[in-house]
Amino acid sequence: MPDVLSLGKQILRRESLAIGELAENLDERFLQAVYRVLCCEGNVIVCGIGKAGLVGQKISATLASTGTPSHFLHPAEAIHGDLGKIGQKDVVLILSQSGETEEIIRILPLIRQFRVEIIAITASEQSTLGRHAHVVLPLGRIEEADMLGLAPSTSTAVMIALGDALALVVSQRRRFRADNFAVFHPGGTLGRKLSRVDEYFRGLERCRIAPDNETIREVFVRHCISGRRSGAILLTRKDGRLSGIFTDSDLAKLFEQRNEHLIDLPIRMSMTAKPTAVLTGTRMLEAIAIMSEKRISELPVIDADGFPLGMIDITDVIALFPDTVLSGNTAPDNITAKKFPPEKTILKIA
Predicted confidence at residue 147, as pLDDT, reads 77
Summarize the confidence of residues 174-195 as an average pLDDT.
65
Our separate counts of H helices and E strands in the chain read 14, 15
The three-class DSSP label of residue 299 is strand
Predicted confidence at residue 326, as pLDDT, reads 47
Q: Which of 158-172, 220-234, 312-326 has the lowest mean pLDDT?
A: 312-326
Segments of the chain assigned to CATH 3.10.580.10: 197-349
pLDDT at 220 exceeding the cut of 60: yes
Predicted confidence at residue 2, as pLDDT, reads 61
DSSP-H helix ranges across the chain: 2-25, 28-39, 51-65, 75-78, 102-112, 128-132, 154-173, 178-184, 188-193, 216-222, 248-256, 284-294, 314-320, 322-327
Distance CA 124, CA 112 (A): 19
Distance CA 71, CA 48 (A): 12
pLDDT at 347 exceeding the cut of 70: no
CB 275 within 8 Å of CB 284? no
**Homologous superfamily (CATH) for 2-176:** Glucose-6-phosphate isomerase like protein; domain 1 (3.40.50.10490)
Predicted confidence at residue 190, as pLDDT, reads 60
> Which of the 8 DSSP states describes residue 268?
G
Which is more confidently placed, 342 or 144? 144
Predicted confidence at residue 336, as pLDDT, reads 37
Amino acid at 6: S
Q: How many other CB atoms sit within 10 Å of the CB of residue 167? A: 26
Segments of the chain assigned to CATH 3.40.50.10490: 2-176
Q: What is the signed CA dihedral for 96, 99, 101, 105, rounded to 10 degrees?
A: 110
Summarize the confidence of residues 302-320 as an average pLDDT.
87
Predicted confidence at residue 221, as pLDDT, reads 86
Is residue 306 very low, low, confident or very high in pLDDT (cuts 50, 70, 90)? very high
CB 186 within 8 Å of CB 272? no
The three-class DSSP label of residue 114 is coil
Predicted confidence at residue 103, as pLDDT, reads 94
Summarize the confidence of residues 175-191 as an average pLDDT.
62
Distance CA 13, CA 310 (A): 53
Distance CA 133, CA 73 (A): 17
Summarize the confidence of residues 58-63 as an average pLDDT.
95
pLDDT digits (tens, 9 = 90+) for 117-171: 999 999 999 999 999 999 999 998 888 887 777 788 999 999 999 999 999 999 9
Distance CA 207, CA 189 (A): 26
> Which of the 8 DSSP states describes residue 297?
S
List the beta bridge partners of residue 311. 202, 300
Predicted confidence at residue 345, as pLDDT, reads 39
pLDDT at 28 exceeding the cut of 80: yes
Distance CA 153, CA 151 (A): 6
Predicted confidence at residue 196, as pLDDT, reads 84
Sign of CA dihedral 223, 229, 232, 236: negative
Summarize the confidence of residues 44-68 as an average pLDDT.
94
CB 52 within 8 Å of CB 98? no
% of the chain with per-residue pLDDT over 90: 56
CB 271 within 8 Å of CB 235? yes
**Rounded to two decimals, what is the model's pTM?**
0.64
Summarize the confidence of residues 61-81 as an average pLDDT.
92
Is residue 187 very low, low, confident or very high in pLDDT (cuts 50, 70, 90)? low
pLDDT digits (tens, 9 = 90+) for 36-47: 999 999 999 999
**Homologous superfamily (CATH) for 197-349:** CBS-domain (3.10.580.10)
Predicted confidence at residue 344, as pLDDT, reads 39
Distance CA 345, CA 334 (A): 16
